[in-house]
Structure 1
Amino acid sequence: MSAPLVPERVAAHVWRLALPSRTLPPFDHTNSYVIAAGGEGLLVDLGSDDPAVLAELPQLLAGLGVKAVSALLLTHTHPDHCVGVAAFRARFGASVYVHPLEQRRLPAWAQPLGDAQTVALGALSVRALHTPGHSPGHLAFWLPWAEVLLVGDLLAARGSTWVGVPEGDVAAYLASLTRLSALPSRLLAPGHGELVRDPARRLAEVRQHRLEREAQVLTALASETLLVAELRARVYPELHPEAHPELAEMAERSLQAHLIKLQREGRVLERGGRYARVQGVP
């Protein structure tokens, strides 16, 4: 860790910590969120296992008035959001909560937290919302006293969130965006990047991006059948697999998630690994 951690106040009782992590570009950090009241605190996500970060946390939390940490809530179990969990639990003795669909990735001490369940912190209450799409058991957390929504990897402050097989589900992702759009959020607090101060606009942007990608897929398949690699070359012409094999693989896995949605809707057919658009279906 090159510089001391500096908490950013999000709202009453809530702070953001940008912790260095091994994550996808353009980001080099994962946000953890501290919620504190009456000397008690809880964290949301811990994507760093850097010993220097973990050593600094006790003093930092004490500076925010936290005398005891009661819980660590996880949006999901991708490593850049949970790699520091075991070390954190060993140091603070906090309970760890995760959606049941992601619980198998953690040791037996992880406890289930389902949709609409709440975690109390003094007079405050944090509500879990099951928001699949990026991962099957992804959770967002609604902080009603602050009108703040902790969205994990459902969206980032800029750019797009990766949704790809085997865990990504485009239809579920769009449904989760719709669900969050119905909340009276004043701020979105993402897993990566800065706070989002226009929630309605940002939610609409990421939804539109996903629909535009879907339209690109349908256009590419309108007049020919394509393998996934050939589809990737049409949709991402600037991405050369010889130079960036890992990015090419991720792009293909994202396209496969779109193709699965379109197949379920009867808009695309697959035969022998080749995909074609169903004619006459919008």
Structure 2
Amino acid sequence: MKQEPRLKALSDFLKNQRSKISPQSVGMPSGSRRRTPGLRREEVAQLAGVSTSWYTFLEQGRDIKVSASVLDAIAGALKLNSDERKYLYDLALDNSFHPKLSIGESTAISPSLLKILQELKYCPTIVSDRHCNIIGWNEAACHVFIDFRLIPEQERNMISLLFTKKEFRSLAVNWEHFVKDYLAIFRTYYGQYVADPWYPEFISHMESNYLDFRQLWNQSEVSEAPEVMVEFRHAKAGKMVFDLSSLQAKGESDLRLSIYTPVENSSTEMKLRKLLEG
């Protein structure tokens, strides 16, 4: 029988997080007979104070009952940060929200949000929904990234574009880190809306068609709102450096603003002004 997407996601996440922890870092002997990196299942169980068989069932993605207190112990054993803990709880406790919008239903941008986009004239900004579909942008974003108006609406998915458009691959100085930040946000949505069949279908499509997507997705990074500095090599403007802030708009639409602010004391804003004027 095919495993439920929620349980498979939980299984993959636990295995991946376990593999990241060195035995020495938690006081376990490294040994010479370890065939895989990280901790063994029985070691995670020991650190969390649960039975090995129970933890094995959980990691195998079996549909068993878990409590918040036990999940706290497992999260501590696996050294999860706050975003990773929330992702674990969403999957293990089946806290996923059921989408209030129908699949494929478009999300409108409110007039107030449009006003914000216009005011952020020198900060390239992209508005996306919980599927990472791009539903809004400002003029600065078109000049720095790609003219989103030229992309058919059904193809305006940020995750997909990062892997399919050469403009994105050539723009980011460290493309892999740039992509990992978006995938970390995407995984947060996945944990919240794992009941939405769109996610496993999309992930399966990307894994089947893009090997680098599969490799980066399997690293299981989770972040609700990463704040990082990104460096671009723009075809016309040259080096541009931005601070990326990811802000979530409250409400049922679950929209997110990805705002790229020119780094202070750099020439980025001046270059951006020239792009907009030219």
State if a TM-score over 0.5 links the two structures.
no
TM-score, normalised relative to structure 2: 0.26
Which of structures 1 and 2 has the larger relative contact order (alpha carbons within 8 angstroms, sep 6+)? 2
TM-score, normalised relative to structure 1: 0.26
Which has a greater percent of strand? 1
Which has a greater percent of helix? 2
